[in-house]
Amino acid sequence: MCCLELLCCCLGPKACGICCPGDNINAKSSITTRFMYIAFLVFVVIVSSILLAPSIGTAVEHSFLCKLNIDLPEATIIPESATLPGGPTFTTTVLPDNVTVYDESAVCRIIFGYTSVYRICMGTASFFFVMMLMMLCVFSSRDPRAYIQNGFWCIKWTIVIAIVIAFFFIPRHGLVFSQVSLVIGMIGAFIFIILQVVFLIDFAHNWAESWLDKQKETENNLWYVALLIPTIIFYLIALVGIILLFVFFVRPGGCGLNIFFLCSIFILSVAVSIIAILPPVQNAQPTSGLLQASIVALYTTYLTYSALSNEPYGEGYDCPLSSSNSTVGQVSNAFGKDTNEVVSSVIGILVMLVTVVYACVYLSNNKQLQKLRGNHKDESEGFTVLCCDQCCPDATEAQEIDDKDTDTDVKESKMKVTDDETEHVTYSYSFFHFMMVISILFVMMQLTNWYNPGIAESDRFQNTWASVWIKMSSAWLCFVVYLWTLLAPLILRNRDFGYGAD
């Protein structure tokens, strides 16, 4: 029976579960489906990270993949047997007529991983984008499209792999593919960063609300202390981070732009912290406080660190801690990045994974989406399903599925996964896939450190000011979003935002 269930899951419309002893252990299809899709995301992260290893570039440097995927500009390609100044590392030579000469195999060895990450992530994001469009206005598992959402896993994995392979065979046309991927990735990553802070704020509100409720139930003031400890820790980490950024990214008598970035983040962190504890805000939102403000301060400090790490080096600008725009062979470590970039990428990926799991399992719930939009409703009032940016009315929410029918289904089929969406979907399918699209684009930008994967006029990966301003703009916008969550209940008094209001 277990093998039959797995076959229906992999090749048919049934949702996947875990084969466990006993018939009383059941999982909800809405939960197992989301975790299966998250497995897609984790797989992309792992494969992309592996491809950044230099040994992969060495293994394929003489293969046809290099000719397909390395975007070299108009330049002279020297034979592999030729000797260039600089030894075996990737070097270029500028001839007297200003023609740049490249060692093609060395170029492939160095940057194959970066271009591969772009193609893998763009291919996977394309799959989820199509799924997002297909799942618009799905209201229950009775919709035929729900079978595609919850089943056919082997087929979907095969389709994803086929799309990724197809992206590897897209021929280069100058730097067109790289530049288009870079722009799409930056836009998607920017949207993800903004949504990420919304999710972090919501998480902090729920955290504070949960512990304050426990304090009321137990009348034990230790719960206040428990909330105070992480708040202090977050503020201390943010403060130490700002100080270290001043130490490593500011020179005496220079780096005015970096000083502006750091001062603005510090001032805004102090400002929102003060606003969060003002009596009018506290009266409107009892759960609002310094915990949320400390998380925002810490997250924006990280965004600032990531932005400063991406600053271009050269042309009279020498403020970055280390030049990630220097010759690749001189600054790269085991993964082709300097330590500063590795730290930034690892932190970003870890925060992203936690955020995606939280968003996909909790915030893609329709009730939570309405709360974030300021249209919170109690469960007894029914619900709506997000569809094409409109609220489409559906039937009143059923409190439970008929016990007799459910027991019959379990006894007859002995399925380990129960369909909890026969009356209505428990989360927005389209929003879920939208989250997956921008998450993968964020992964793409983080793993490549927001590099321009093309090589133009030099032997350097190109950091761009665009990535710096996108990250700093997103950091400032994070404060705007958080400030709105504080002031919205005061401005829109007829709406229930669901954050701890009595």
The gap from C-alpha 474 to its chain's centroid, in whole angstroms, comes to 14
Contact, 389 vs 414, CB < 8 A?
Answer: no
Determine the pLDDT at residue 387.
Answer: 40
0.75 cut: is pTM over it?
no
Question: Is pLDDT at 56 greater than 50 in this prediction?
Answer: yes
Q: How confident is the model at residue 408 (pLDDT cuts 50, 70, 90)?
A: very low
Give the mean model confidence (pLDDT) for residues 343-366: 69
Q: Which residues contact 217 (CB under 8 A, 6 or more apart)?
A: none
Place of tokens 């035929």: 144
Q: Is residue 129 part of a domain?
A: yes
Q: What is the pLDDT of residues 428-467, one digit of tens each?
A: 888 889 988 998 998 888 887 776 554 433 344 456 677 7
Mean predicted lDDT score pLDDT of the chain: 70
Q: What is the pLDDT of residues 211-223, one digit of tens each?
A: 888 888 887 888 8
Q: Is residue 501 part of a domain?
A: no
Q: How confident is the model at residue 130 (pLDDT cuts 50, 70, 90)?
A: very high
Q: How confident is the model at residue 353 (pLDDT cuts 50, 70, 90)?
A: confident
456: containing domain: 2-491
Give the mean model confidence (pLDDT) for residues 333-344: 53
Q: Is residue 496 part of a domain?
A: no
Q: Is residue 502 part of a domain?
A: no
Q: Which residues contact 194 (CB under 8 A, 6 or more apart)?
A: 474, 477, 478, 481
Q: How confident is the model at residue 38 (pLDDT cuts 50, 70, 90)?
A: confident
| φ and ψ at residue 69, rounded to 5 degrees | -110, -15
Task: Give how many domains the chain has, as a whole number.
Answer: 1
Report the percentage of the chain scoring pLDDT > 70. 59
Give the mean model confidence (pLDDT) for residues 331-343: 49
Q: Is residue 500 part of a domain?
A: no
Residue 451 exposure: Cα atoms within 13 Å on the Cβ side: 26
Q: Is residue 279 part of a domain?
A: yes
Contact, 134 vs 145, CB < 8 A?
Answer: yes
Looking at residue 218, its amino acid is T
Q: Is residue 498 part of a domain?
A: no
Q: What is the pLDDT of residues 82-92, one digit of tens each?
A: 443 333 344 44
Place of tokens 């399992």: 361
Question: Is pLDDT at 150 greater than 50 in this prediction?
Answer: yes
Q: Is residue 307 part of a domain?
A: yes
Determine the pLDDT at residue 336.
Answer: 40
